[in-house]
């Protein structure tokens, strides 16, 4: 566990498309979920005699439910535009990590069982039987995709590999081979309230400790309220913000912003997790259950506004899917949906990202900063994949790119973007998203981080950058882990609200 | 589940080498797990491991890194109450490596 048993890629001036190395990553396999979590989530925990029929039934079910999936299966013309866009291919050289090849693992099975030519003359149309070998390949390579959707930006048909990966993982779960990391987390969030499994009393103790720290540090009694009924704002943030470095620095930043704004706010022990791994394993029902906790907590606490902390995929789920998962799409006619709609303050977007909230306060002159306190830092910003390509912030197109950068420029003097083709809509994934942030996939994570590390290195060398600002708990944990492999100090990783926290003036 | 034999007693561990049953833990298995992790246990390591177990006993979870650094500062001096020192003790990361040696379940999530 302590020493890398693989070759760490070398940093280059820009990321070079590697010569393919077939099978390079076929041995790297995430641990399979045991009986406990599989049973809890309603899945079998081993392949039954009828696994193949189950898999094909499920595939048919998904193809019927999601028109997009059928279009993605049919539309690809193998033009190759996506081949060199995936960070996992660029870092591993395994051709199955080319998005088109990863999709084809499913497409060949789709053709065999769901198209006429594939049923009659499979050898003519690249159709193949679903065998245990193919299933194993699915497991391996659908857990070497972080569902970051960079490839879809460059696909002339807009084929979304993430949806194919999600479908692949859902079928895998359905036949009994789930991923241990994601599925254990999905149990904890439903049983305890967060991905960490941090029970209420531990959360309370942790928050009290943080209040002491802030007061010792600033002399100002900044509070971290928990389960306060009637608070105006409920903050939902990834549980890593309570637990880890550097995540906790951003949590302190949010608390200082709320304090400076003079607003009443609260965290919830029931909804002590913004993240929703239901997105990762592709199950709509699970994603809905995880999202429901937040609606329930909002109703119980009677808050007027819901704000989401620094978490990439949480923001995608909140911004793009909460409405369908828990509101109008859930029926919208149930008494609870109606009550929530009446309860929330319609003068504000619901939900709101913490960056939108802070930027509004900066624009209206409510927050004051001493920017020189960040002068020891030369900062760059990594756009998180799910925020960049799956959501938006503010009222203008591209707000998800400008708002976090505007905040950084408002609280610090030294900012430098990384090369254009590695940020914004074309941002590279950190390498640990989509349920891959686990030790058993460390090789995938380190190699997949290569394009981002090259881009970071170019501004370290060229512009003396020494701080990578982030708005995602997965990105923070991933870079903290992989920075040392590439010779960078993990102390250079932090949050946007960590920078806010450093510079904000409190009374 | 795999078993390991240490000082005449067998212990069940999961595929990542974490002890399956918290109550099985003793000094021998801690030494063994530390060796597997290439960590040489000193008095400071034991202080951290013992604190983790006490905290877990009360809260059913490992302490947050801030809680741990504060406890270390109290016990070993303020200059050691920081994340960097914890990484010196447990290079793979204090949360996971120290928990493993302390026989606690692996912390999960975006950490």
The domain that holds B90 is classified in CATH as 1.10.10.370
pLDDT at res. A351: 94
pLDDT of residue A2: 42
Residues of chain A positioned with their CB less than 8 A from the CB of B36: 1
Confidence label for A272 from pLDDT (cuts 50, 70 and 90)? very high
CB atoms within 10 A of CB A242: 27
- Least Cα separation, residue A339 to chain B (angstroms): 32
**Chain B contact set for A240 (CB, 8 A):** 109-111
Q: How close A200 gets to chain B, by Cα (Å)? A: 9
- Domains of chain B: total: 1
Distance CA A419, CA A14 (A): 9
Contact between chains at B110 and A1 (C-beta distance less than 8 A): no
Question: Closest Cα partner for A351 from A298, A389, A424?
Answer: A298
- pLDDT recorded at residue A333: 78
**For residue A413, what are its two tokens?**
């003097």
- Alpha helices of A66-179 — where are they, by DSSP H? 67-75, 87-92, 99-114, 116-120, 132-141, 150-154, 161-175
Are the beta carbons of A358 and A367 closer than 8 angstroms? Answer: yes
The Cα–Cα gap between B85 and A190 comes to: 34
Q: Is any Cβ of chain B less than 8 angstroms from the Cβ of A367?
A: no
CATH 1.10.3470 fits A35-184, yes or no: no
**Helix ranges, chain B (H):** 27-36, 43-59, 65-76, 83-89, 99-101
Residue B107 maps to a domain:
no
Strand blocks (E) in A348-472: 352-353, 379-381, 467-470
Contact B59 A205 (CB under 8 A): yes
Whether the bond between A351 and the residue before it is cis, its omega within 30 degrees of 0, is yes
Residue of B nearest to A197 (CA): B61
Give me the residue spans of the domains in chain A.
Answer: 35-184, 192-355, 369-503
CB interface of A with B, residues 297-326, below 8 Å = 311
Q: Do A248 and B65 touch (CB under 8 A)?
A: yes
**Partner B, chain A 200-229, Cβ-Cβ below 8 Å:** 201-202, 205-206, 209-210, 213
> Residue A222 class from Cβ within 10 Å (0-12 exposed, 13-18 middle, 19+ buried)?
buried
Distance from CA of A208 to the nearest CA of B (A): 10
Number of H helices, E strands in chain B: 5, 2
Contact A357, A308 (CB under 8 A): no
3-class DSSP state of A37: helix
Residue B12 phi, psi dihedral angles, 5° rounding = -90, 130
- Give the minimum alpha-carbon distance from B107 to chain A in angstroms, rounded to a whole number: 6
- B99 catalytic? Reply is no
Domain containing B35 equals 3-101
Inter-residue contact A445 to A433 (CB < 8 Å)? no
CB contact under 8 A, B59 and A242: no
Mean pLDDT of A161-189: 98
Residue A96, CB half-sphere, CA atoms under 13 Å: how many? 20
Q: What is the pTM of this model?
A: 0.96
Q: What is the ipTM of this complex?
A: 0.95
The per-residue pLDDT for A4 is 57
Mean pLDDT of A125-150: 98
Query: In this structure, are residues A502 and A373 in contact, taking their beta carbons and an 8 Å threshold?
Result: yes
Kindly give the residue spans of alpha helices, DSSP state H, lying in A247-283: 247-261, 278-281
| C-alpha–C-alpha distance, residues A153 and A440, integer Å | 29
Res. B20: pLDDT tops 50: yes
Asked if residue B101 has pLDDT above 60, the reply is yes
Q: Return the structure tokens found at A174.
A: 């359905």
Residues A427-453 have pLDDT tens digits of 999 999 999 999 999 999 999 999 999
Residue spans of beta strands (DSSP E) within A310-432: 352-353, 379-381
The tokens for B45 are: 């390591």
Please provide the distance, in angstroms rounded to a whole number, between the alpha carbons at the two ends of chain B: 25
Within a domain: B89: yes
Which among B1, B3, B110, B111 is annotated as catalytic? B110
The answer to whether residue B109 sits within a structural domain is no
> A-B interface: how many C-beta pairs under 8 angstroms?
102
Compute the distance between CA of residue A157 and CA of residue A149 in angstroms, rounded to an integer.
13
- The pLDDT of A100-109, averaged and rounded, is 98
Chain B, nearest residue to A276 by Cα? B109
Question: pLDDT tens for residues A12-25?
Answer: 999 999 999 999 99
Report residue A10: phi and psi, to 5°.
Answer: -85, 145
Nearest CB neighbour to A2, from listed B15, B91, B109: B91
Q: Which residues of A touch B35 (CB under 8 A)?
A: none
Write the pLDDT tens digit of every residue in A462-493. 999 999 999 999 999 999 999 999 999 999 99
The answer to the question of residue B41 being in a domain is yes
């Amino acid at each position: 566990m302590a020493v890398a048993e693989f070759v760490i890629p070398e940093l280059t001036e820009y990321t070079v498309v590697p010569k393919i190395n077939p099978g390079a990553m076929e041995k790297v396999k995430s641990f399979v979920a045991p009986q406990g979590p599989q049973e809890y989530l309603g899945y079998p925990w081993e392949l039954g005699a009828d696994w193949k029929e189950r898999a094909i039934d499920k595939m048919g079910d998904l193809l019927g439910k999601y028109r997009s999936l059928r279009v993605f299966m049919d539309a690809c013309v193998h033009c190759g535009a996506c081949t060199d866009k995936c960070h996992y291919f660029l870092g591993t050289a395994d051709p199955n990590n080319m998005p088109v090849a990863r999709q084809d693992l499913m497409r060949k099975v789709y053709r065999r069982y769901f198209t006429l030519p594939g049923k009659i003359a499979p050898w003519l149309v690249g159709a193949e039987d679903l065998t245990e070998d193919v299933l194993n390949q699915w497991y391996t390579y659908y857990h070497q995709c972080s569902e970051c959707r960079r490839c879809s930006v460059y696909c002339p048909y807009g084929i979304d590999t993430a949806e194919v990966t999600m479908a692949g993982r859902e079928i895998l779960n359905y036949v009994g081979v789930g991923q241990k990391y994601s599925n254990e987390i999905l149990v904890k969030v439903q049983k305890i309230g967060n991905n960490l499994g941090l029970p209420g009393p531990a959360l309370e103790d942790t928050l009290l400790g943080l209040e002491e720290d802030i007061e010792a540090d600033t002399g100002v009694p900044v509070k971290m309220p928990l389960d306060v009924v009637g608070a105006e704002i409920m903050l939902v943030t990834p549980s890593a913000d309570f637990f880890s470095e550097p995540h906790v620095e951003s949590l302190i930043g949010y608390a200082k912003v709320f304090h400076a704004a003079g607003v009443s706010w609260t965290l919830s022990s029931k909804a002590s997790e913004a993240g929703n791994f239901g997105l990762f394993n592709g199950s709509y029902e699970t994603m809905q259950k995880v999202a429901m906790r937040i609606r329930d907590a909002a109703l119980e606490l009677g808050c007027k506004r819901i704000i989401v902390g620094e978490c990439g995929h949480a923001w995608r789920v909140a911004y793009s899917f909460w409405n369908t998962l828990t509101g109008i799409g859930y029926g919208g006619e149930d008494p609870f949906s109606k009550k929530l709609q009446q309860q929330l303050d319609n003068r504000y977007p619901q939900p709101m990202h913490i960056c939108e909230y802070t930027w509004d306060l900066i624009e209206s002159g409510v927050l004051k900063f001493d920017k020189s306190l960040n002068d020891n830092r030369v900062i760059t910003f990594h756009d998180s994949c799910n925020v960049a390509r799956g959501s938006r912030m503010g009222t203008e197109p591209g707000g998800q790119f400008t708002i976090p950068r505007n905040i950084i420029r408002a609280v610090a003097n030294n900012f430098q973007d990384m090369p254009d083709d590695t940020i914004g809509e074309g941002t590279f994934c950190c390498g640990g998203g989509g349920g891959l942030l686990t030790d058993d996939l460390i090789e995938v994570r380190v190699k997949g981080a290569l394009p981002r590390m090259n881009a970071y290195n170019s501004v370290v060398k060229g512009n003396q950058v020494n701080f990578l600002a982030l708005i995602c708990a997965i990105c923070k944990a991933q870079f903290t882990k992989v920075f040392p492999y590439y010779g960078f100090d993990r102390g250079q990783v932090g949050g946007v609200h960590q920078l806010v926290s450093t510079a904000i003036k409190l009374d | 589940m795999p078993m390991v034999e240490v000082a005449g007693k067998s212990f069940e561990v999961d595929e990542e080498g974490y002890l399956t049953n918290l109550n099985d833990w003793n000094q021998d298995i801690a030494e063994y797990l530390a060796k597997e992790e290439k960590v040489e246990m000193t008095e400071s390591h034991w202080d951290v491991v013992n604190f983790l177990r006490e905290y877990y006993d009360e809260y059913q979870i490992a302490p947050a890194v801030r809680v741990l650094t504060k406890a270390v500062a109290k016990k070993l001096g303020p200059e050691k109450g920081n994340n960097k020192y914890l990484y010196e003790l447990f290079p793979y990361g204090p949360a996971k490596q120290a928990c493993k040696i302390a026989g606690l379940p692996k912390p999960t999530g975006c950490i």
